[in-house]
Amino acid sequence: MMSYFTLATRIIIAGLFLFLPLKSFSEDNQMKELQRLVEVAANKSRQSNQMQFPTESKALTDKRPAKKRRAPSAGMPVYKPPRRGAPVGRVAGGTRGIFDEYPSLLCVITPDHTALTIQDQPELFWFIKDLTPFPIELTIIETQAISPLLETRIAPPAQPGIQSIRLSDMGIHLKKDIEYQWFIAIVPDPKRRSKDVLAWGAVRYMEISDALKTKLQQFDKVTAIDIYASAGIWYDAFSELSESIKTSENDTDLKIIRNALLEQIGLLDITKYEKISSN
């Protein structure tokens, strides 16, 4: 089946050709013009594709300029992204009125592309700056599926900051080599879903080589964080790190590592919040 991107691109290109001046082009000019049209069509298709959401919500992805990524400090784990997929809307978007009345930062903790896991039941992380009285929903969608894999309300956080969701607690398994989108939504008015405040990320479950499995078994959890990050396996790197922080809450070095990883993927607002709240 032709992908949405390919179909949209061809339609736009066809439409553009209808409006080309009816004059003779040299072969070289024809090629240049075709390349220009492809670029225009691709940009239009990407913009349209980024606005597709699975529910009735009309919430938009964040329109602010992307946060600048910081180079990792010496000795810190370095996240090396896999081949980049479609961009995701990590920081919440919503109607202006909702943000004026409830200025909370909602964010999923993922890179701005489809990130990897080697677990079929990974742990998902998100962040909320302030507590909210409104319901919070989790939705997981398999790419090109008609119905969501999961739509459920989740317990409101007891305190602001970094939150986690274990798919094992919900009996959800991901299929290998399939991309999934997951959404966190604050729902101020269940009857008017256009007011939702929404953030989303993408995840793909993959198997790793026997060599990498052996390497992971040879080292402790802290070293495993570096191995996962270097292999582009974001979800497992952050999960291992978070578990280590839970068991060693007074270990400030682990929190420094976490902030370093968050800075590498551009989530500087979270690191600022964490530094302020820890003082």
Q: Which CATH class is domain 96-277?
A: mainly beta
Instruction: Label residues 153-173 b or e (16+ Cβ within 10 Å = b).
Output: eeeebeebebbebebeeeebe
pLDDT mean over 148-175: 95
CA distance 267 to 90: 9
- Per-residue pLDDT tens over the stretch 220-240: 888 999 999 999 999 999 999
Please check whether residue 270 is in contact with residue 276, taking contact to mean a CB–CB distance below 8 angstroms.
no
Give the pTM.
0.70
pLDDT at 275: 85
Mean pLDDT (the chain, rounded)? 76
- Per-residue pLDDT tens over the stretch 137-153: 999 999 888 899 999 99
What letter would DSSP give residue 93? B
β-pairing verdict for 136-142 and 123-128:
unpaired
Predicted confidence band at 245 (pLDDT cuts at 50, 70, 90)? very high
Nearest to 3 by CA among 52, 62, 63, 39: 52
- Per-residue pLDDT tens over the stretch 43-74: 433 443 333 333 333 333 333 344 444 444 55
Query: CA 148, 153, 158: angle at the middle one, nearest 5?
Result: 140
pLDDT at 93: 53
Record the tokens describing residue 158, joined without a space. 């007891």
Cα dihedral 37, 47, 115, 246, rounded to 10, equals: 160
3-state secondary structure of 117: strand
What letter would DSSP give residue 249? T
- Per-residue pLDDT tens over the stretch 67-114: 444 444 557 899 999 876 556 666 765 433 333 444 468 999 999 999
CATH 2.60.40.1220 domain span(s) along the chain: 96-277
Cα dihedral 218, 220, 225, 226, rounded to 10, equals: -60
Please check whether residue 8 is in contact with residue 48, taking contact to mean a CB–CB distance below 8 angstroms.
yes
pLDDT at 26: 46
CB atoms within 10 A of CB 260: 20
CA distance 53 to 193: 12
More confident residue, 183 or 91: 183
Which residues is 202 bridged to in the sheet? 181
